[in-house]
Amino acid sequence: MTDDTPQDPWPDEAPDDLPDNPRELRRKLRETQERLRILEGRLDQRARLDQVDTAQRAAANAVSQRYALAAAGANDGMWAWDFETGELFCSARWRAVLGHPAEDFRTAPDQWLNRVHASDRAEVQRLLEQHLEGGAPHFECEHRILHEDGAYRWFHCRALAQRDPAGRPTLLAGSLSDITMRKLAELQLLHDATHDALTGLPNRVLFQDRLEHAIAQCERRPREDLAVLFVDLDRFKNVNDSYGHAVGDELLREVARRLLTAVRAADTTARIGGDEFTVLLEGLRHPREAHEVAQRVRSAIARPMNLAGQELVVTASVGIALLGEQVDGQPDLLRDADTAMYRAKGLGGGQMALFQAAMRTDVVRSFEIETDLRRALGGNELALHYQPIYSLPELRLVGVEALVRWRRPDGMVLPGHFLPVARQSGLLPQLESWVLEEACRQLQSWKRQKLVPDDLAVWINVSPGHLRREDLLEELDAILRVTRLSTSSLHFEITEDALLADSAETAERIATLRRMGITICVDDFGTGFSSLSYLQRFPVDILKIDRSFVEGSGTDHGSGAIARAIRGLATGLGIRVVAEGVETLDQARFVRDLGCDFAQGFGLCRPAAPDSNTLFERPAALSMDE
Ligand code: C2E
Ligand code: MG
Ligand code: MG
């Protein structure tokens, strides 16, 4: 007891020690009255507090009844954690959602925390502490809890602490709702947004994310390198065109499966576009390892596939970009691997190429060429040169091949420099439409001026894309009507590649053109994949033996033998033959003796502008008479 504790102001008996002295007695009385006043004040306060308490209790009761009702309706599990007793009180629903027997309402907080999924526990504890320490207005968290059946379920947990006047938490009360269904739906959505529906592989978004993460990791481990492989199927469009999209889809799924077997378990394989796949290779100790995986990828894809009852062989071009090879700036391995893949494609398909910085400048150059070419197509910078084709052995002028040229301010550009860009940028069909129209217009002009024999034909190079164009027949019809030329004046030169595409569409188109009276020639014959069987499937009129076989004919026994074999094959099939690239007298004699029907080459006449006199002169440089 402390000194200021009030003494009992109403003792049962009058105290004996009352002073006799009246002054002293008055002082004592004042003192007692003062004590009485203090005590009355305290009693008053107590009564008021009791009133408040009763009101609070009534309100709390009403709240708790409503709360219980709401809890039952909300289907949520309710809980309260009493920090004084250390007990966790749980509603029947709380126990039910976790598969506990419903009778036991009292448990230890560990029952909850120990059941929280290991990956979520630290976050739950962090948020709890944050709220209890007053750093957050309430506790709220989504986490997984182990159900009695052994599976984890997702819960949304919310709680609020009750505090004593000093602000210390005395109770934490909250709710627990089962959100497993919503969470699974969310996870599914997330999966769908980051994966390719056809193959189930990660898509571009996820690949890019993993790549960025891997680059950041790699920077912390300087002894390791990483690489991106860019895999693009060769001529995939032909598979779709010839066999239909269902087979195309099945092929892509099969490629995805094969890729997964070719790469290492830790590598990320993604499909980032139609027939484009990428692989992220991490933890490389040597660039050689990237080459090895790329090699395995190529071989895996090139194995014959059995799809829809047929055996198909597809090849892939692979570009490789290594992080260690990056010289400066922000690494963009995906773009670089793509660039390298294009380089591999240029090697003829089924090849691989490693990215080098110089390739980037090539890309820039291509882009510049493309921009200029678009302008050239709109203006009058394109021109045609013509190269005569003569009959053998009499060397009569029977045709001219139209060869496109680009007149640039700094000189004449040959097609080898801009056709690949035109092809890649999709400008080729537009360019070829112009060539077709211009060549026909020129032939008509020569004929009108009687500069050429009546039966002279113009030979036009036609790319596969242009050949398949839906409006090609209408276009031809319009041009022939305007120029009043007959279809017999037209020879179309198609490369072996176009025939090898082997699509029903191409075959049908070639047959239609031949029925119309247009002569079909196979250009650069012998340089493609030389699958001669296609000559039976695609009947053609003329083969142009590639100049590489004519070139070596005098000296190289092999080339001469091939030229002879082609001649023999053509005779057997009733096909006429042109010898391309005849430069010397020896070559001219060789191809004549071989029985070639026609010859073309610098030795007879170089390609020239339409107004050049040399075009219609009898070749003087080579006299084949002994
Ligand atoms: P091509 O169709 O095989 O045309 C023959 C090419 O060989 C021409 O090259 C011609 O100048 C060259 N040539 C002719 N005789 C000789 C010779 O005796 N020796 C040598 N070394 N070369 C000779 P050019 O004009 O550079 O054309 C190259 C290729 O570009 C053509 O090869 C053709 O495939 C393509 N091309 C040209 N114009 C067009 C076009 O309008 N459309 C398409 N799709 N391709 C075209
Ligand atoms: Mg040609
Ligand atoms: Mg040729």
CATH number, domain of 282, equals 3.30.70.270
Tell me which residue of 607, 560, 608, 602 sits closest to 585, measured CA to CA. 602
Looking at residue 176, what is its pLDDT?
84
264 and 316: one domain? yes
pLDDT mean over 250-264: 95
pLDDT mean over 71-85: 73
Name the domain boundary from 135, 159, 184: 184
49, pLDDT greater than 70: no
pLDDT mean over 515-524: 94
What torsion, rounded to 10 degrees, do the Cα atoms 304, 305, 306, 311 define? -50
Looking at residue 39, what is its pLDDT?
64
- 35 is a domain residue: no
458, pLDDT greater than 70: yes
What's the 603 CA to ligand 2 centre distance in angstroms? 17
Looking at residue 67, what is its pLDDT?
47
500 and 394: one domain? yes
Looking at residue 74, what is its pLDDT?
54
Interatomic CA distance for residues 343 and 137, integer angstroms = 60
* Ligand 1 binding pocket includes 435 (Cβ within 6 Å): yes
Neighbours of 261 (CB within 10 A): 9
413 and 509: one domain? yes
Looking at residue 521, what is its pLDDT?
95
- The tokens of 294 are what? 């790329």
Q: Kindly give the number of the ligand 1 atom that is closest to the alpha carbon of 604.
A: 18
Name the domain boundary from 139, 162, 184: 184
152 and 218: one domain? no
* Ligand 1 binding pocket includes 602 (Cβ within 6 Å): yes
162 and 225: one domain? no
343 and 406: one domain? no
Determine the structural domain holding residue 587 and report its residue range.
380-616
4, pLDDT greater than 80: no
Name the pLDDT band for 5 (thresholds 50, 70, 90): very low
Mean model confidence pLDDT for the chain: 84
Q: How many domains, in total, are found in the chain?
A: 3
Name the pLDDT band for 427 (thresholds 50, 70, 90): confident
pLDDT mean over 459-476: 90
pLDDT tens digits, residue range 569-618?
A: 888 888 999 999 999 988 999 999 999 999 999 999 999 999 998 899 88
Q: Kindly give the number of the ligand 1 atom that is closest to the alpha carbon of 582.
A: 18
Interatomic CA distance for residues 109 and 106, integer angstroms = 10
- 363 is a domain residue: no
Neighbours of 491 (CB within 10 A): 24
What phi and psi values does residue 87 have, to the nearest 5 degrees? -100, 155
351 and 439: one domain? no
- 27 is a domain residue: no
* Ligand 1 binding pocket includes 404 (Cβ within 6 Å): yes
- 240 is a domain residue: yes
* Residues, Cβ < 5 Å to ion ligand 2: 461, 493, 523
What's the 588 CA to ligand 1 centre distance in angstroms? 19
Q: Kindly give the number of the ligand 1 atom that is closest to the alpha carbon of 493.
A: 2
- 57 is a domain residue: no
Looking at residue 292, what is its pLDDT?
93
How many residues belong to the chain? 626
247 and 341: one domain? yes
Interatomic CA distance for residues 85 and 170, integer angstroms = 10
pLDDT tens digits, residue range 206-231?
A: 999 999 999 988 888 878 889 999 99
- 11 is a domain residue: no
Tell me which residue of 34, 32, 40 sits closest to 14, measured CA to CA. 32
Q: Which of 171-185, 264-278, 379-393 has the lowest mean pLDDT?
A: 171-185
405 and 328: one domain? no
175 and 277: one domain? no
Q: Kindly give the number of the ligand 1 atom that is closest to the alpha carbon of 544.
A: 3
Name the domain boundary from 161, 184, 207: 184
Looking at residue 309, what is its pLDDT?
82
120 and 236: one domain? no
- 362 is a domain residue: no
pLDDT mean over 509-520: 95
> Which segments of 202-351 are extended strands (E)?
225-233, 268-273, 276-284, 305-307, 310-312, 316-322
66, pLDDT greater than 50: no
- Per DSSP, the three-state class of 290 is helix
Looking at residue 342, what is its pLDDT?
87
- % of the chain with per-residue pLDDT over 70: 85
Name the pLDDT band for 44 (thresholds 50, 70, 90): low
56, pLDDT greater than 90: no
101, pLDDT greater than 80: no
401, pLDDT greater than 90: yes
> Which segments of 5-151 are extended strands (E)?
77-82, 87-90, 106-107, 139-146
- 566 is a domain residue: yes
What's the 611 CA to ligand 3 centre distance in angstroms? 23
228 and 293: one domain? yes
pLDDT mean over 454-473: 91
Interatomic CA distance for residues 244 and 233, integer angstroms = 16
CATH number at residue 152: 3.30.450.20
pLDDT mean over 346-363: 81
